[in-house]
Structure 1
């Protein structure tokens, strides 16, 4: 445990100084609330017509606070996966691509422990960003609700809870891409795989199997595909989606234990 704590401390310092973290953190925490409230405001302004109005129709009904948080959950389900994918591409793929990982063979800390610590740091960062984005959205929505006749009630809190859960699920879904980064030793290949999975998710949803495909579950669960699609996502599908994170972490630990030619 002492070795793991040391590895976590070192990896946290390195991640805090990384460019990806410095760019992605404010984008997730600030832009998600802005986009959520902005979409709702735009949908109710009457300024959008035609196809745009149809796409925003779901944000034009219901009390504003609940709609803000529903939108936040939908945005987080995609944004956190993308941010997490870029994060593991940088933290796992880049050292292998530029040769810096060769130094790991001279450390007393096992490489598997380093990989586990690195994954935990990225996952913890993503979870903190999700919590921050939801908290900011709740605060802003409560402020908006105070100026209207629609109070910040139980429905809004339920939407906030679902947004938080969906964002955490999406964060966990990024961990398997650490295994992709390790196998390919390329951050670009990892990002390509991430984009490929996002595209595949769209196809799976179109053919009607999204409710059981982990990479579609967070988005559908928050209502991106409509209320019927959200209702199709059951507890078993959510549990399977949550299991992706530990499986991905275990896989990358095994890979790093077996690294021999860096």
Structure 2
């Protein structure tokens, strides 16, 4: 079997696993439904006359400005975190399940190399995350257009679509390092624990003022989660550092699966 044929076969199998995965189905629905609802709902709550006290203070950034632009800003902020969480849970299942259950031993008898299988898993994961991100942003745009039409507000937020898509893709790409964690720990639960730990570490790094150069914080800060000043501090080098997480993780995972042992 040629390398190209092996990769095509592995991609077909991993795509089939993705379609039948309950984890992927649930994560897809949560992203495509909850993120747009949160984007529109948080802005509506911020601009509601009933909003007051701590709620009004937390949502103050969403209380003014163009309606559609604010919807897309919230979408970018939520999606940068939600895509990471969804992708992290999926790679914990995709890479950790076979190793944890012991069924990975069957991979040693296949004509397709284990490194090719790992590459296919990564590519399918990235394609799924990208599809979810684009669909989530599209649903948010549609929901925002409906709200704008009902309220009589203008709708011209197409420039902000790019920010939401890029923030979601960067967040989703940063889930790939947890595929390496799943390979090393051979544990789905251990991988999820690592994901939770990184999220907690990100909060600490941001509080200490180092978020701009921390890949897991940069996408959210760029989307405005830390305020306008924090967003202005994020430049192209910071985003490129975050974007480098996915290809570096793929290289590490492929190498780890190449050296995988049946013990």
Give the secondary structure class of the aligned counterpart of 1:147.
helix
Shift of 1:48: 2.1
Shift of 1:149: 4.2
1:27 lines up with 2:7 in the alignment: no
Contact 2:76 / 2:164 at 8 angstroms: preserved in 1?
yes
The TM-score with structure 1 as length reference comes to 0.97
Aligned equivalent of 1:180:
181
Aligned equivalent of 1:226:
227
In the alignment, the residues of structure 2 paired with residue 65 and residue 49 of structure 1 have an alpha-carbon distance, to the nearest angstrom, of: 23
1:36-87 deviation per Cα after TM superposition (whole angstroms, max 9, x unaligned) = 0000111111222111110011111111111111000111011110010000
Aligned length: 260
The TM-score with structure 2 as length reference comes to 0.97
- What is the 5 A alignment of 1:17-166? 17-153=20-156, 156-166=157-167
Aligned equivalent of 2:16:
13
In the alignment, the residues of structure 2 paired with residue 47 and residue 130 of structure 1 have an alpha-carbon distance, to the nearest angstrom, of: 32
Give the secondary structure class of the aligned counterpart of 2:47.
helix
In the alignment, the residues of structure 1 paired with residue 216 and residue 66 of structure 2 have an alpha-carbon distance, to the nearest angstrom, of: 29
In the alignment, the residues of structure 2 paired with residue 151 and residue 49 of structure 1 have an alpha-carbon distance, to the nearest angstrom, of: 26
- For the aligned residue pairs, the C-alpha RMSD in angstroms reads 0.9
Shift of 1:5: 1.3
The unaligned stretches of length 5 or more in structure 1 are none
In the alignment, the residues of structure 1 paired with residue 21 and residue 206 of structure 2 have an alpha-carbon distance, to the nearest angstrom, of: 35
Aligned equivalent of 1:197:
198
Give the secondary structure class of the aligned counterpart of 2:224.
coil
Shift of 1:164: 0.3
1:103-159 deviation per Cα after TM superposition (whole angstroms, max 9, x unaligned) = 100000000000010011111111100000000011111122223443212xx1222
Range that drifts further, 107-116 or 44-53: 44-53
The unaligned stretches of length 5 or more in structure 2 are none
In the alignment, the residues of structure 1 paired with residue 23 and residue 61 of structure 2 have an alpha-carbon distance, to the nearest angstrom, of: 33
In the alignment, the residues of structure 2 paired with residue 216 and residue 19 of structure 1 have an alpha-carbon distance, to the nearest angstrom, of: 29
